[in-house]
Amino acid sequence: MEYFFQQLINGVTLGSIYGLIAIGYTMVFGIIGMVNFAHGDVFMLSTFIALIFLMVLTQVLGLGSLAVALFIVLIAAMLLTSLWAWAIERLAYRPLRGSFRLAPLISAIGMSIFLSNLVQVTQGPRYKPAPAILGDVITLYEGTDYTVTISHKQLLIMAVTAALLAAFWYLVQNTAIGRAQRACEQDRRMAALLGVDVNRTIALTFVLGAALAAVAGLLFMVYYGVVHFNDGFVPGVKAFTAAVLGGIGSLPGAVLGGLLIGLIETMWSAYFSIDYKDVATFSILAITLVFLPSGLLGKPEVEKV
């Protein structure tokens, strides 16, 4: 039982990261009906940006306070990753809007290959270690043969995820930006007729998704302690699975899906086989799409003839 609780904590931690990435997929799919294939690599890029900034602050500038450093890194990573996402949308996706359906997907796959190879070429193909921070653990419950613990990292991940999701929810539900975003999602042409700048709103959707992916990137870097140029694809597909499982287009669905995927992956590794944990995720992706295409919280797609 203690073992189960420990896995629950680990799973929720991992799920928070997936949920943050999944929001980027679900929002973009909701607004322009496109699988943003490069989103996983944008996330990977943000892990590198976060690590480089952390190194600059702690080693080059010698900033003493870790909390301040992490806060600055968070803001910087969010801003710079958003800039990348904005540029990608402007250069690779916007010219293809209204083109035939496969064109943006192929462009996104090309962008994904470009980003992972850009990082490989400029940063090198090796795993890059991050400084070990927040390694302390808190003992929650001491069992007879197993102790349930939660590390400071895990607390940080859960707290930051919860805080940013709350802020993001407020932004989408209660501000003019969020209203425009939701309006474009429902009916782009009508929104344009009513004076919403559709292009700007779509760009903003990419920017918001990337900012949340950057938060996930920083947390991922802190949690695992290494970054690698190839770490975009698999977390990206898992986060996409989360978005699909929760119901693509639904924001609470993306978070719920993320938590579920994190839990399933952790439990699968803990109780069945760690080698086949990715097979489990990919199978869930296929099964969900085949049998439950609208996901847990999504609206069913009505086909008009």
Q: Which positions touch other proteins (CB under 8 A)?
A: 33-35, 45, 48-49, 51-53, 55-56, 59-60, 76, 80, 83-84, 87, 91-92, 95-96, 99-103, 105-107, 109-115, 117-124, 128-131, 227, 233, 237, 240, 244, 275-276, 278-279, 282-283, 285-286, 289-290, 293, 305
Alpha-carbon distance of 283 to 201, in angstroms, equals 34
Q: Name the one residue in this structure whose structure tokens are 């653990």.
A: 137
Alpha-carbon distance of 248 to 259, in angstroms, equals 15
In terms of Cα–Cα distance, which of 78, 131, 125 is closest to 230? 125
Tokens of 12: 């929720």
Least separation, in Å, of the C-beta of 145 and other proteins?
Answer: 30
Q: Which is nearer to other proteins, 56 or 137 (CB)?
A: 56
Least separation, in Å, of the C-beta of 203 and other proteins?
Answer: 13
Q: What are the DSSP calls for 232-301, one per residue?
A: THHHHHHHHHHHHHH-TT-HHHHHHHHHHHHHHHHHHHHHT-STTHHHHHHHHHHHHHHH-TTTTTPPPP
Least separation, in Å, of the C-beta of 146 and other proteins?
Answer: 28
Q: Which is nearer to other proteins, 60 or 302 (CB)?
A: 60
Q: Which is nearer to other proteins, 87 or 138 (CB)?
A: 87
Q: Which is nearer to other proteins, 124 or 143 (CB)?
A: 124
Least separation, in Å, of the C-beta of 200 and other proteins?
Answer: 17
**Secondary structure E strands in the chain:** 128-129, 137-142, 147-151, 226-227
Q: Which is nearer to other proteins, 105 or 137 (CB)?
A: 105
